[in-house]
Structures are given as C-alpha cells and as structure tokens.
Structure 1
Amino acid sequence: MIKTTVYLPEDLEVRLDAEAAATGISKAELIRRGIALLLEHAERPKRSRELPVFDSGRPRTPDEMDDSVYEHIKERAARR
C-alpha cells in the first residue's frame, strides 16, 4: 500500500472516529472503503464536443489530412 495524507475538516474527523469506534473498523479502512465506493459509482464526464470529421469526397494523403486538421483548428481559434 501507499501512504497518503488527507486533511479532514474537524466534524468529519469526529464522525470518522465515532464510526471506527462503533464498528471496530480502522479509520484507514473506512477511508479506503469510502474512496472505493465513490470510484465504483463515479460517472466520468463525457466528451463535450465531437471530434471534427472531414469528408473531402476523395481519399487524402496523410499530409493533406494534417493540413485540413490544422486549418480547421486555426479557423476555430480565430473565432474565439
């Protein structure tokens, strides 16, 4: 295991102490369980924008595609 320092507000520390005493489970284990529970139910944010799609109607070389992507990025940056 890796040691990590966590700063808790006093009221949360008091509640954690009480839970540890009542259950006989160490504070460290309660914190690990809480983090595991949070991560199991966490929803990751979805990508906010779709990636640009380029359809030239014909196959492009990698250099042509790079140029198109670069131009698109430049145009978007100019609009900001």
Structure 2
Amino acid sequence: MIKTTVYLPEDLEVRLDAEASATGVSKAELIRRGIAMLLESSSRPKRVRKLPVFNSGRPLTPDAMDDTLYEHIKEQAARR
C-alpha cells in the first residue's frame, strides 16, 4: 500500500471517528472503502484503452509511427 495524507474538515473527522468506533473498522479502512465506492460509481471508463496496433508490413520510423497514431486519433475523434 501507498501512504497518503488527507486533510479533513473537523466535522468529517468527528463523524469518521464515531463510525470507526461504532463499527470496529479502522478510519483508514473506512476511507479506502469510501474511495472505492466513489470510483466504482464513476461514469469514467473503468479500464484503460489499449493503444491500437498497426501492421503495415514494414517497420516505421518513429516520426512515421507518430504520424500514423495521430491520424488514427483524429479519425476516432471525428467518429464521436
């Protein structure tokens, strides 16, 4: 796990302490659960889109690859 510092308004800290005491669940676990619930209900895509794979039959230079990817992204954006 990665440690993160979160600043809470006093009223949320009091409510969080009360919930942790009442349920026997640590404040850290309650915060993790709350973040997980927020992210699960998010309308953003839950998976990362993979970059398209191109097979031109010949190797591309880095500049040519950039141009090809740029054109693909423009085509995808135009379809939206």
TM-score normalised by L of structure 1: 0.53
Measured against aligned partners, the alpha-carbon deviations of 1:4-35 in whole angstroms (never above 9, x if no partner) come to 21454xxx939816826xx7xxxxx9322433
One-letter amino acid of the structure 2 residue matched with residue 74 of structure 1: K
Structure 1 residue ranges, 4+ long, deviating more than 6 angstroms after superposition: none
Partner of 1:77: 77
Identity %: 45
Separation in 2 of the partners of 1:14 and 1:52? 45
Separation in 2 of the partners of 1:56 and 1:69? 13
Partner of 2:31: 35
Gaps of 5+ in 1: 24-28
Partner of 1:46: 47
Separation in 2 of the partners of 1:76 and 1:18? 47
Structure-2 change in CA distance of 1:18 and 1:72 (3 Å):
closer
Partner of 2:15: 13
Q: Which has the higher contact order (CA 8 A, sep 6+)?
A: 1
One-letter amino acid of the structure 2 residue matched with residue 32 of structure 1: A
Computing the radius of gyration from Cα coordinates, the structure with the larger value is: 1
Gaps of 5+ in 2: 41-45
TM-score normalised by L of structure 2: 0.53
Structure-2 change in CA distance of 1:34 and 1:59 (3 Å):
same
